[in-house]
Amino acid sequence: MQTTSPEAVFHKDYTLRTSDFDRDRRLHPATVLDIFQSVAGGHAELLGVGFEPMLQQRLVWVIVRARYQVLREIPMHTTVSVTTWPLPPTRAGFQREYILRNEAGETAIIGSSDWVLMHSEKRCMVPKKENIYKLQGELCEERVFPERLRRIRDFQPDEGEYLVRPGFSDLDMNGHVNNIKYANFVMDAIHPAPGEAISAFQIDYHREVLQGEELRILTQRQQELILAKGVDPSGEASFFCSVELKKD
């Protein structure tokens, strides 16, 4: 990986816990998203665009979309190394890339996420075209996926639904449901069969969800692809998710 600024790429190690894995000893999607969120926040602080500095400008970071692909399964109770970097800002927002490596140094998971800046009081998107990161040199422009992330389109659900009502422990510092919690809602709704492993996972965030708001998780299965969405009582979608499965 080449970049003219050593600050543009951030590395951090994480020791995985038993609770990070499901019944089949595979990483929970929420764990992967949580690691992405944590390493992105740590790097943002170093770049001068962390939570408090941005809040002083009445701005907050809001994730729009996240996707990851599993290349290798990661054993329990091991330490992984995560590398992340932001791409140059565009008119549409800010994209950040991730590579998660196992203890042997092999790439196990690759991921990407799209972010926007929102006014902390007006709750509206704030356009930012210039490079807001405090760097001495250029940003890294390497992408982990060949194309930009594509929006998950609406679908006609199968019969059945899974009802959730987020509580206090689901909230983040912005006062709405933390982005990683939606992954738990989806997995509880689809409950993959033993022997089915996630090969790719993507979630698109459309609307903030607050404590106590009712969400119906609706799904559709197309062989090894499961689509899911969370809708409120009026039928408005709060998020869409796609889960690509593979057999052991």
244 pairs with which residues across the strands? 200, 225
Q: Are 179 and 67 in contact (CB under 8 A)?
A: no
* In the predicted structure, residue 243 carries a pLDDT above the cut 80: yes
Q: What is the mean pLDDT of residues 69-95?
A: 94
* In the predicted structure, residue 202 carries a pLDDT above the cut 80: yes
Where does the pLDDT of residue 190 fall: very low under 50, low under 70, confident under 90, or very high at 90 and above? very high
The answer to whether the predicted template modeling score (pTM) of the entire model surpasses 0.95 is no
Query: Can you tell me the distance from the alpha carbon of 9 to that of 86, in angstroms, rounded to the nearest whole number?
Result: 8
Query: Can you tell me the distance from the alpha carbon of 144 to that of 61, in angstroms, rounded to the nearest whole number?
Result: 22
Query: Can you tell me the distance from the alpha carbon of 222 to that of 93, in angstroms, rounded to the nearest whole number?
Result: 31
* In the predicted structure, residue 78 carries a pLDDT above the cut 90: yes
Predicted pLDDT at 91: 81
Domains of the chain (ranges; CATH) run 6-126 (3.10.129.10), 162-247 (3.10.129.10)
pLDDT tens for 24-56 read: 999 999 999 999 999 999 999 999 999 999 999
Per-residue burial over 87-102, b if 16 or more Cβ lie within 10 Å, else e, is: bebeeebbbbbbbbbb
* In the predicted structure, residue 135 carries a pLDDT above the cut 90: no
* In the predicted structure, residue 83 carries a pLDDT above the cut 60: yes
The CA-atom distances, in angstroms, between 49 and each of 68, 117, 120, 130 are 24, 11, 14, 13
Question: 194 φ, ψ to 5°?
Answer: -55, 135
* In the predicted structure, residue 230 carries a pLDDT above the cut 80: yes
Question: What is the chain's mean pLDDT, rounded?
Answer: 92
Q: Angle at CA 218, nearest 5°, toward 33 and 184?
A: 25
